[in-house]
Amino acid sequence: MARKKYKFNPDTLNYESIGLTWKERIVKVLTYLSSSVAMALLFVVIFLSFYETPRSKALKRENQRLLTQYELLQKDMNKVEKVLTDLQQRDDNIYRVVFEAEPIPAAVREAGFGGTNKYSHLENMDNADLVIETAKKLDVLAKKTYIQSKSYDEVMEMALNKEKMLASLPSIMPIRNKELKRTSSGWGYRMHPIYKVKKMHWGQDFTAPIGTPIYATGDGVVTEVEGSKRSKVGLGLNIKIDHGFGYETVYGHLNEFNVKRGQHVKRGDIIGYVGNTGGSTAPHLHYEVHKNGQKLNPMYYMFQDLTPQEYDKMIAISSNIGQSLD
């Protein structure tokens, strides 16, 4: 209990006790309570600074567990990305090469995500940078996986059409030439028989008697049957076949046709006969192979009816530097 306060009274020459007013009592109580609360808060802060509650320990453990899971997830995604990159390289450099298809442009595979910030709802989370980075990588992997899946759908379709493509490929010689004696001039610069200057020869010449059968070198549709026997320039009577898949073949200087425009032909069908029409100086067949509008060396495609040794011999014969017949 608080001690009583006394005040000297000069009138009575005595010490008289002094009582506290209500206001003073209230101020005193409030002061005491404030001091007590302040001391309590100080003790709580000190306690929490040096001691962890069971709940805080549990939250820290949970937070550490989540961080570990994110790190493991990042490692797993890196492995998936490596596997996906390998699949992309196989797709572009093996599968699509086999089926003669263009690779998927890198701009399509690596295209980013435009538009508004789709990760804004993650910015207020704990470890937001890690969470957002993981979410972005997942989105990129998901998109790359989708593109690769669509690519394999295309490859599957090409595989199903491979048999048709192989049948359409111009892969035999256009005349029977097992002895390999009916080749006069191959692809490249040759001396022109009329102008006597070197000129690019865009095909393969096969010498043969007039009337020798000419065969379609692959399945296809006859798109051109034209020319005149009286013409002394160009390919004379000639045929063009569209084999699909970008391939076309041309047969020139014929003596007679055996097909009509729009007719479907199979590899080995007789389409005409060797002649000496147009700008030709001797009976022969001028044969060309085109791919996507570009003229190619026909020798690269005459492999199906030749052994490896015969093919090598044919390459050597066709490479001779001589005079063409047209």
User: For position 109, what pLDDT does the model report?
Assistant: 75
| Owner of token pair 């209230």 | 26
**158: which 2 tokens?**
């090409």
Stretch 227-251: mean pLDDT: 91
pLDDT, average across residues 198-218: 87
Dist. CA 318–CA 289, nearest whole Å: 15
**To the nearest 5 percent, what fractions of the chain are helix, strand and coil?**
40, 20, 35
Residue 122 has what pLDDT? 65
Q: What is the pLDDT of residue 320?
A: 61
What is the predicted pLDDT for the residue at 176? 87
User: Do 291 and 312 contact (CB within 8 A), yes or no?
Assistant: no
Q: Which comes out higher in pLDDT, residue 92 or 114?
A: 92
Identify the residue with better confidence: 65 or 295. Answer: 295
Lowest mean pLDDT among 7-11, 42-46, 87-91, 144-148: 7-11
Which DSSP string corresponds to 99-134?
Answer: TT-PPPPHHHHT----SS-TTGGGTTSTTHHHHHHH
Instruction: With cut-offs at 50, 70 and 90, classify the pLDDT of residue 315.
Output: confident
What is the H or E stretch that residue 224 is in?
strand 220-226
Query: For strand 247-257 and strand 294-296, is the pairing parallel, antiparallel, or unpaired?
Result: unpaired
138-176 pLDDT, tens digit each: 888 888 888 888 888 887 877 777 788 888 989 898 998
- Does the pTM exceed 0.75? no
Written in H, E and C, the secondary structure of 84-97 is HHHHHHHHHHHHHH
Average pLDDT over residues 81-85: 80
| Bridge partners for 251 per DSSP | 239, 287
Range from 30-34, 213-217, 303-307 carrying the lowest mean pLDDT: 303-307
Predicted local distance difference test score (pLDDT) of residue 100: 66
Nearest-5° Cα angle at 47, 46 to 52:
130
In the predicted structure, residue 128 carries a pLDDT above the cut 50: yes
Spatial CA neighbour of 266 closest among 311, 220, 316: 220
Nearest to 205 by CA among 214, 195, 218, 194: 214
Alpha carbon distance 285, 206 (integer Å): 5
Nearest to 218 by CA among 182, 253, 242, 194: 242
CA dihedral 222, 264, 160, 306 (to 10 degrees): -70
Least confident piece of the model among 1-5, 59-63, 67-71: 1-5
Most confident segment among 167-171, 190-194, 264-268, 319-323 = 264-268
